[in-house]
Every structure is written in C-alpha cells, then in structure tokens.
Amino acid sequence: MMPPTIIIGSGITGLTCAHILARAGQAMRVLDKGRDIGGRMATKRADAAGLALSYDHGAQYLRPRDTDFGAFLARHGAVSWSDADPLHLVGQPGMSALPRAIAKGLDVAQGVEVLGLRHAQGLWHLETNLGPLQAQRVVLTIPAPQALRLLGPDHPLAPELERVRMAPCLTLMASFPTGSPTPFTTWRDADHPLAWIAQDNSKPGRPDDVITWIAQASPDYSAAHLEDTPDTILSKMLPLLCTVLGTPPEQALHAQVHRWRYAQAVQPLGRPFLHAPQLYIGGDWCLGPRAEDGWRSGRAMAHAILGGADAV
Ligand SMILES: Cc1cc2nc3c(=O)[nH]c(=O)nc-3n(C[C@H](O)[C@H](O)[C@H](O)COP(=O)(O)OP(=O)(O)OC[C@H]3O[C@@H](n4cnc5c(N)ncnc54)[C@H](O)[C@@H]3O)c2cc1C
C-alpha cells in the first residue's frame, strides 16, 4: 500500500520527524541511500591486526542546548563522554546507536536512493534505484545542495536552497596499539590543518584493546584537498596526526580517511524548513551546523504536518 508520507533521509532530521509522526499514529516510510541508518551520525567499522575497530567518523558528540533534546537523547540511550566533558553526550557502542534507537519500530529502508522527484496529478512520483514509488507527501531531509540537485534549478524553492552553504570535512581514522602516547582526550586548534582531534576509544563502551583517534581537517584544509584521492589525503593527514601525538606513523595498526562533502552548514537557511504543497524540505542546514539543528528541523516539520499544514 502506498504510504501517505515518504521521508527521504534516515539522519536525525528524518528520524525525528518519523518518530513524532509515528507516535501520533501516522503511517510513513523512511528511505535512505546509505548502508546504515543515521546519515552523518555515523560509526565506521573496520578489521585490522585481528582487532574489531570502530570509529565515530561523523558527529563526535552532542551537547544539548534545548532540554527537550537532552531528554530525547537520554530516552534513546545517550551517555556522558565524561573523559572529555560530562556535558558531551554520545551513543554507545558508537554514535550510530542513537539513530538506530530512534528508528526502532519505524519503517526504514536503507539502500534506496531517490534519483528523481516529480509532482503530478496530486501525487509525488519517486524514481529510485529499486524502481518507482508514489506518495502523497514527501519530507526531504538531505543536505541542501543535494536537495537542489534532486528538485532541479527551476523548482520555486531552488533560490532558497542555493543560499545555503555547507563546508566539507576530511576525516582521518587511525588506530594504535595500547601503550602508545595519549597526550590528550580532545584537541581543538582552528589554526592547525587538523582542527579537531579526539581519542575516540575514550568514549564509554568502546573497546580498550586498541587506541583509536579521529582527526578532522579544518574547513580550509578540507576544501583545498577535497578532490585529492583518499590515498593522497591519508599520506598527508596521518603524519600530521602523528606529529601532534608524538607517535611514529609506522606504529599505526590501521588508518583510513572519509571525505564528507557536505559536513556542516556554514550559512544556514535561517528557518526550520521549507514548504511547498505536499513537500517539506529540512535538515540541520536550516538552522545551524549541529545535530540538534536537525532535530529541531525534523520536529518542526512533524508538528506542521500534524497541525494540518497540508492535510493528506
Ligand atoms: C565530520 C562531522 C563532524 C560533526 N560533528 C558534530 C558534532 O560533534 N556535534 C553535532 O551536533 N553535530 C556534528 N556534525 C553535524 C551532524 O552530524 C549533522 O548536523 C546531523 O547528523 C545532520 O543530520 P541530518 O538528518 O540533517 O542529515 P544527514 O545525517 O546527512 O542525513 C541525510 C541522509 O539522507 C541520505 N540521502 C542523501 N541523498 C539521498 C537520496 N538521493 N536518496 C536517499 N537518501 C539520500 C543520506 O544517506 C543521509 O543518511 C558533524 C558532521 C560531520 C560530517
């Protein structure tokens, strides 16, 4: 049966919207092109040297400003990263545990990429890698530049989407044997090519048989090297990390990089979502650079739908 609402994107924005709609008894389906639920609230797994490794290579932690967001996270298993800052909340065993908990009981399909979106005869027609789908209402929660590509430059909301700017982030994941230097838990230096470094395994619930690090390149460094190959980026970022840590690069048990093309909004939209008949477009980029901004956007869209902004 055709769901009245299709939500595109299983990041925190889409899942928050879905969660509120489901609690109000509304049927919906969430589609996402990725392998795992959660979008940029992500945990990468790898095997090396006989060890099962995991890295939070997207959002590092959540620091709720809105007490409702704090309560929402606590209900879905967030715990304090007390080694860094007791106010920093994380999922365990990885950040992706949070979106997975929010998605419990929802109809979420991963591996479904929406390639085209067209409104005709009162219905949305979705072209996907698995074939055509229809819905009465679409909630689009993908990064603004991707939403713009999907809707096309002639869509009436295109000028609003064009105003949003998102910065890339090159992220290095690296593991070292226990006993190797751990000079800090987190490190921030806006003037260094690696603007943020964190000892990922210092978060609660992570394995203690290996030391894992995340290093995020600064927005300028990321933009300058975004089109380099992963091997080239790795060959530059790993020595930078090792210099800061005081560890020889040869000691790394595993290292890889991830290129986030649309990591965080640097010029947000300035309101919680965009709306056209039977279409809602939201995401963190509406309000700011953090997951909490996605939660606020998703919540606002759900409340607008439940309030009958365009009753299906
Ligand atoms: C490196 C990095 C570090 C960060 N650090 C922090 C932090 O410490 N604290 C914090 O609060 N925030 C942080 N953020 C930001 C935070 O991750 C985001 O604000 C939040 O996860 C965005 O959620 P979202 O649902 O709006 O978008 P996303 O999580 O990007 O979800 C969008 C989803 O849409 C899917 N999608 C895209 N196109 C299609 C398509 N055509 N068809 C189907 N599916 C599609 C994607 O697969 C994705 O799952 C960080 C982000 C990055 C990248």
Model pLDDT for residues 130-161, shown as the tens digit of each residue: 999 999 999 999 999 999 999 999 999 999 99
pLDDT at 28: 96
- Domain limits, CATH 3.90.660.10, in the chain: 166-265
Rounded CA separation 117/157 (Å): 14
CATH number of 5-42+96-164+268-306: 3.50.50.60
Cα 45 to ligand 1 centroid, rounded to whole Å: 18
pLDDT tens digits for range 242-289: 999 999 999 999 999 999 999 999 999 999 999 999 999 999 999 999
At residue 311, the pLDDT reads: 54
CATH 3.50.50.60 domain position(s) in the chain: 5-42+96-164+268-306
The C-alpha atoms of residue 75 and residue 128 are separated, in whole angstroms, by 33
Contact 16, 102 (CB under 8 A): yes
The CATH classification number of 166-265 equals 3.90.660.10
Q: Supply the pLDDT for residue 73.
A: 98
Q: Which atom of ligand 1 is nearest to the CA of 258?
A: 1
What local confidence, expressed as pLDDT, does residue 308 receive?
84
Ligand 1 pocket (Cβ < 6 Å) reads 8-14, 31-34, 39-41, 58-62, 113-114, 141-143, 146, 150, 169, 171, 216, 260, 263-264, 283-284, 290-292, 294
Low-confidence ranges of the chain (pLDDT < 50): 312
Strand ranges (E), 218-281: 254-267, 274-276, 279-281
User: In this structure, which amino acid lies at residue 134?
Assistant: Q
- Separation of CA 26 and ligand 1 centre (Å): 24
Buried residues in 223-233 as b, exposed as e (16+ CB within 10 A)? eebbeeeeeeb
Q: How many CA atoms lie within 13 A of 139 on its CB side?
A: 35
CA dihedral 12, 14, 15, 16 (to 10 degrees): 80
Q: What is the pLDDT of residue 289?
A: 98
